[in-house]
Structure 1
């Protein structure tokens, strides 16, 4: 006769955490004071339906489609440039952040990475618009600053988890530190670094479209302009262009990551 394993003890800490989260959700709804009756009333639903109907049909005039196409290319360029700059800066900061150059540099590099990624892209964009002026360059800098913090942390963790034995073997054989890292550790982490960068590019293409609302150029700036003057049909065309662009980048990035191996797809 088989004996059943003993039941695990009740996790009081887990139940307390669930209770606190549930209480916070309830308090949030009460604090906001949302009038759900007015939100679901016949008049509100009629106004929402009228607002949505104003977006159709989208403006597909050749002149406007050319303007949207230019904005899409600008958004794509902003996201790509921001991601490339962030990948380079993140790789440079990942070396000291992984602890390869001493404890003091490790803490300093991690502080910089934490600061960069703790500031949202929209805040960086507002600051860069003041520093570099309204336009796509400010958007690219904003994406690069925030993404550097994210990629630098991910790159550093990949380096920390990589085996050090191949690099140490080359160093004992007389190779310099740069050569030992380039021929031993870098080939191990490079596919993972590229996969991380491609994944962040997918996210940056979405954020690049939003940064236009604070002057970052591209489709976001075009969308903000037409919404501000109540041209919903033109705004709908921009929204469709955003969807097509994000879908294209997602498919391209997924195909590239699949080429790196099943672990990074």
Structure 2
């Protein structure tokens, strides 16, 4: 211990027990799963994988197919944008009661609803909504909005609860209305973090939108499922490349926006 520094506080016994339980859980997970690492690296497995990947070359670069792929790429991007926008609206509406700003009773009920929304994966939401909305991007957009509303609602509520309450209390003491005090004191403190959460979820929704097409929700995922089911590997390779380019572009745009917001 360096001179002049206070001793580090002792760790509670509960923290060590929790750490030991996590280590035991990880060890039990490895022990219970039939992980056949040796079979994965056998010459036969490597040869089969190489032959499978060789079928993807060269990618399909026919102009008509590229135009079709570009349209599916735009459909996937649009699904993620609209789904994220709807989730921001729904998440913000649910975050206010979840943060306890509309009463203690509503806080528990709203947080339970947020748990349900985000506990159901996007693929399950899409499968349910396809029955009501039919095949196509509409069901995929609603599935992204439903799941992401639960995620953003919880994150927004936590951000609102963690802000410094003194500025809003000072405005209320000086006669400001509750809504005005919230908009001018609390929301500006939480807004940068909320915007960061939104951009991060948009990145995730791009990947999710590309996968939702597997159940018929449109976009690149639906094209990929179609061509893979027909063993049209060069066409599937073009779709995979389009997915990679879209995800990389959105990641770069999100990173640039986050940098701009934090300056």
- TM-score surpassing 0.5? yes
Alignment partner of 2:29 out of 18, 21, 24: 24
Distance 1:72 1:156 in 2: 33
Give 1:70's aligned residue.
71
Give 1:100's aligned residue.
101
Question: CA 1:107 to 1:210, structure 2 compared with 1: closer, same or farther past 3 Å?
Answer: same
Give 1:150's aligned residue.
151
Distance 1:13 1:255 in 2: 38
Give 2:182's aligned residue.
181
Deviations 1:3-41 (A, max 9, x none): 9x89x7994664454234213311212xx7x4844x444
Question: CA 1:168 to 1:13, structure 2 compared with 1: closer, same or farther past 3 Å?
Answer: closer
Question: CA 1:171 to 1:35, structure 2 compared with 1: closer, same or farther past 3 Å?
Answer: closer
Say yes or no: does 1:217 pair with 2:213. Answer: no
Structure 2: where are the runs of 5+ without partners? none
Question: CA 1:152 to 1:12, structure 2 compared with 1: closer, same or farther past 3 Å?
Answer: closer
Deviations 1:117-153 (A, max 9, x none): 0001110010111111110010010000000000000
SS at match of 1:260: helix
Distance 1:200 1:107 in 2: 24
Question: CA 1:99 to 1:239, structure 2 compared with 1: closer, same or farther past 3 Å?
Answer: same
Question: CA 1:181 to 1:226, structure 2 compared with 1: closer, same or farther past 3 Å?
Answer: same
Distance 1:76 1:132 in 2: 20
Shift of 1:189: 1.0
Question: CA 1:165 to 1:12, structure 2 compared with 1: closer, same or farther past 3 Å?
Answer: closer
C-alpha root-mean-square deviation of aligned residues, in Å? 2.1
Shift of 1:100: 1.2
Shift of 1:197: 0.4
SS at match of 1:166: helix
* Structure 1 runs, 4 residues or longer, greater than 3 Å off: 8-17, 34-37, 39-44
1:48-127 equivalent positions in 2, closer than 5 A: 48-127=49-128
Q: What TM-score do you get using the length of structure 2 for normalisation?
A: 0.90
Q: What TM-score do you get using the length of structure 1 for normalisation?
A: 0.90
1:239-258 equivalent positions in 2, closer than 5 A: 239-258=240-259
Shift of 1:173: 2.0
